[in-house]
Amino acid sequence: MRVVEVTAYGGPEVLRMARRPEPEAGDVPGRVRVRLRAAGVNQADLRIRAGRYPGHVGDLKPPFVLGTDFAGTLMDPAPGMPAGTRVAGFVPWFDELTGEGTYAEVLRAAPEWLAPIPDDVDYTVAASVPLASATAQQGLDRLALPEGSTLLVTGASGVVGRLAVQYAAAAGVRVVAVAHEGDESELKLLGAEHSIERGTPEDVVARVVAAVPERVDAVFDGAFHSAPALAAVKDGGAFIALAADRTPTAERNIRVETVRGRPDAARLKETLEKVAARELITRVADVMPLEEVAEAHRRAEAGHRPGRIILMI
Ligand SMILES: NC(=O)c1ccc[n+]([C@@H]2O[C@H](COP(=O)([O-])OP(=O)(O)OC[C@H]3O[C@@H](n4cnc5c(N)ncnc54)[C@H](OP(=O)(O)O)[C@@H]3O)[C@@H](O)[C@H]2O)c1
């Protein structure tokens, strides 16, 4: 099968098309094969490829295959889902550390990663959802904000941030979203009470204080602003970081936690049904063939292009 290998740590040029044997049915007990049709390019993929996560990859050494988010069709039956079912999910790549990611034609998946894709949702949209929605939901679970409380979402134009805005607003939380230029009104349509322009963390804090003088109850830090964004939080509030190395030290009794998205098939199924019903809006920035993976990484690294870049396989 065709895969993309990280051949050495470095820039996008280290990504190479390669051939590996296609997995056989049942060759890893408890795993089912998924013929992949779409894979998401996540920011973590770029950092792993660049060798910026040495502490998180254990003994894994290149060549290995990147990729967490996927959508495709089941090749083997899984509980409640016959072969041929369209499914999406994500590989908990850092927990697995097998170096078998989704930039490949076939993936061996654990059934508990998989949710069926509703008919109205295509593979590219489905592949943009799994890791981002789990991270947004589980981050908000940790915050456990009561209705009427205030939440700052940085990176709200990003894939995780947009979902966090929508989930929080649906739970009655008053959201201040830090938006890309031109996204302010859309984020309000998605439920943000205030939509403020992005900038340095200090600029963002000043804009938050102008909008919510008493400061917010919590931050969901999708833009990795980290410590400077704590100034936007009330004493005794809460802060969710999305990476260990972007987790600030707690101050003023602010509860600081790091979330790492974990697969939750039941919730993913509900999320995909909401996407099908247009009750949740996700965003795909580009759809590119697997062979153009190096260009996909360059675009993702350049940023300023909100939405998930999807590789079609
Ligand atoms: N903990 C977990 O399990 C987990 C899971 C998924 C993602 N993540 C991490 O969470 C972050 C968000 O993920 P994502 O998929 O939503 O990524 P994304 O789609 O690239 O969104 C990130 C957003 O933040 C903005 N941003 C980044 N740096 C900024 C800065 N200094 N000032 C203002 N805006 C800034 C980006 O804008 P530009 O593109 O213009 O820079 C982009 O809109 C990523 O870093 C990702 O690695 C963690």
Q: Is 102 left (phi over 0), alpha (psi -120 to 50) or beta?
A: alpha
Answer positive or negative: Cα dihedral of 25, 29, 34, 40. negative
Nearest CA to ligand 1 atom 21: 158
Query: How is the chain split into domains, by residue range?
Result: 2-128+283-312, 132-258
- Residue 242 CA to ligand 1 center (angstroms) comes to 9
Dump pLDDT digits (tens) for 143-179. Answer: 999 999 999 999 999 999 999 999 999 999 999 999 9
Residue 278 Cβ contacting ligand 1 at under 6 Å? no
Contact at 8 Å (CB) between 226 and 248?
Answer: yes
Mind giving me the DSSP string for 21-42?
Answer: PPPPTTSSTT-EEEEEEEEEE-
CA distance 149 to 265: 29
Mutate to test the pocket of ligand 1, among 242, 256, 260 (most ligand atoms within 8 A of CB): 242
**What is 2-128+283-312's CATH topology?**
Quinone Oxidoreductase; Chain A, domain 1 (3.90.180)
Amino acid identity of residue 228, one-letter, is: P
CATH class name, domain 132-258: alpha beta
Spatial neighbors of 59 by CB under 8 A, at least 6 apart, are 97
Tokens 């089941």 sit at which residue?
Answer: 74
Residue 275: phi and psi, rounded to 5, are: -65, -40
- Residue 307 CA to ligand 1 center (angstroms) comes to 10
Nearest CA to ligand 1 atom 6: 132
pTM over 0.75: yes
Spatial neighbors of 221 by CB under 8 A, at least 6 apart, are 154, 155, 229, 239, 240, 241, 242, 246
Dump pLDDT digits (tens) for 108-149. Answer: 999 999 999 999 999 999 999 999 999 999 999 999 999 999
Ligand 1, residue 304: give the atom nearest the CA: 40
Residue 139 Cβ contacting ligand 1 at under 6 Å? no
Residue 242 Cβ contacting ligand 1 at under 6 Å? yes
Tokens 């979330």 sit at which residue?
Answer: 259
